[in-house]
Amino acid sequence: MKFKLLLLPVLIALLTACNDDKDSTTTGPEKPVTPPASNGALLDPSSKGDIAEFGGATRLKADRAEALKASINNRQVKHVILFIGDGTSESEITSARNYVEGAAGYFKGLDVLPFTGAYTTYSLDKTNSNIDYVTDSAASASAWATGTKTYNGALGVDIKDNKKTSILKIAKAAGYATGNVTTTELQDATPAALVAQINKRSCYGPAKTLNDCKNFALENNGPGSITEQLLTTKADVTLGGGAKTFDETVTAGAYKGMTLLGQAKKMGYQVVDKLEDLKKVQSADQNKPLLGLFAQGNLPVIWSGPESTLNGNTLPSQKCVPNAAFTASTPKLKDMTAKAIELLQANQKGFFLQVESGSIDKQNHAANACGQIGETVQLDEAIQVALEFAKKNPDTLIIVTGDHAHTSQIIPNDSTSPGKTVKLLTKDNADMTINYATTKEGSQQHTGAQVRTAAYGPHAANVSGLLDQTDLYFIMRNALGIK
């Protein structure tokens, strides 16, 4: 047994190396490593039994070499689904797992992917090209969207403001269907990085762009505001919030004098704003792209709970509750993911889809543990939807990651913290204190730690070990066989 365990890392390394050495111009190996109907094995990382007993808390039930070997293949990919948990690193996943599934439990989406690793998230300083160890969401998303490091606040441009083409635009040009789904405003950094090339992430609409992003305004022969670029990029399916910006008036170009919503309709977009209307949509393509606007700003979070305060861990532990602001007409992330996949798969060549649970980050900024945990659950549920699709469509690559680390930490219940804390009662019927201490007042801050990556499907073996965010761009592009 000791001999087998010693050989296991070598076996996996050799298999991965063989996979990586294949000519990138081919569509796949001559002899597929896995049967055509298989997409490899998902993990079952549940604990074995009584966690207080010898070996009871262990999650490794059998040698995983065969499961990993069955998952390593270089078959041509038809569909790529990229999941982003904004502000989601190991700490956010762990606290959510503890609360919802218990310490010995596991998420059925986040925790079952066979290949895992981490990537670096640093950005660059625009003034001197030095390293900025703590990225924002704009530079972060631009890195995997375009394969290029940039400065905080920038979308789809390099540190010299040269425009870079996103993976979504490249996939669309190659004939793939494309989708962009989020729980935030559609103009927010993560979804915007796929459609916009602009020097400030805040330039949502025409007026702001003309004032703050002059070189990118339509009046100056630029590509326009983030919302204008979203419309002209014309993904087949675009779902999220941010409706208020669509009420703004276009100030230049062919649609001058119209609202952005009017422009969308003039361009042929199907516009929906309720879950029941989303369910009724039968098709979406370049002739009739789908635009879902389900909130004026960000979509409401699904959970609420006790407020984090100074010395909050001295108070009795509490439970999270459903958020009353989340109504039946608002789609959950899993609903939007399911509809996007349903519509995009009609394209015979395949599709690229990005799905973001964006308010994990926003609730982290607000030191709202229950809001943060609920949105992590939303991410997990959406991944489960995609995994069901991938099981039936083995030419699907699923990648799951976060864009940057954040402030929340699990700390001892009796700790004295200079920051805000809150104590929750978990599924284990145990107290768990979550701490927010990057600032005493105002918005909590991002942190610079590396972030978990995970993948399932063809080419998933590349999403292992230590990567950089820019690696994801090349992994996805090469998997789809596009340049």
Binding site for Mg(2+): which residues? 86, 188, 190, 356
Closest CA to 89 of 384, 313, 379: 379
Rounded to 5 degrees, φ, ψ at 269 are -65, 135
Decide if 137 is catalytic: yes
Q: Which amino acid is at 279?
A: K
Helix axes 90-100, 369-392, angle to 10 degrees: 90
Find out whether 271 and 230 touch, Cβ atoms under 8 Å.
no
Find out whether 251 and 210 touch, Cβ atoms under 8 Å.
yes
CA separation for the pair 152, 126 (Å, rounded): 8
Q: Residues comprising the binding site for Zn(2+)? A: 86, 361, 365, 403-404, 446
Q: Which amino acid is at 13?
A: A
Rounded to 5 degrees, φ, ψ at 384 are -60, -40
Question: Which residue pairs, CB below 8 angstroms and at least 24 apart, start in 215-223?
Answer: 215/161, 217/252, 218/250, 218/251, 218/252, 218/253, 219/251, 219/252, 223/163, 223/196, 223/197, 223/198
Helix (H, G, I), strand (E, B) or coil at 102: coil
Structure-block tokens of residue 302: 């699904």
Name 245's Cβ contacts closer than 8 Å, sequence gap at least 6: 185, 187, 204, 205, 227, 260
Name 113's Cβ contacts closer than 8 Å, sequence gap at least 6: 42, 43, 398, 400, 454, 455, 456, 460
Sheet holding 115-120, edge to edge: 270-272, 290-293, 237-241, 177-185, 351-357, 79-85, 396-402, 451-456, 115-120, 465-468
Q: Which residue of the set 95, 137, 166, 464 is catalytic?
A: 137
Whole-angstrom Cα Rg for the chain: 22
203 exposure class (CB count in 10 Å sphere: 0-12, 13-18, 19+): buried
Which residues are the active-site residues? 137
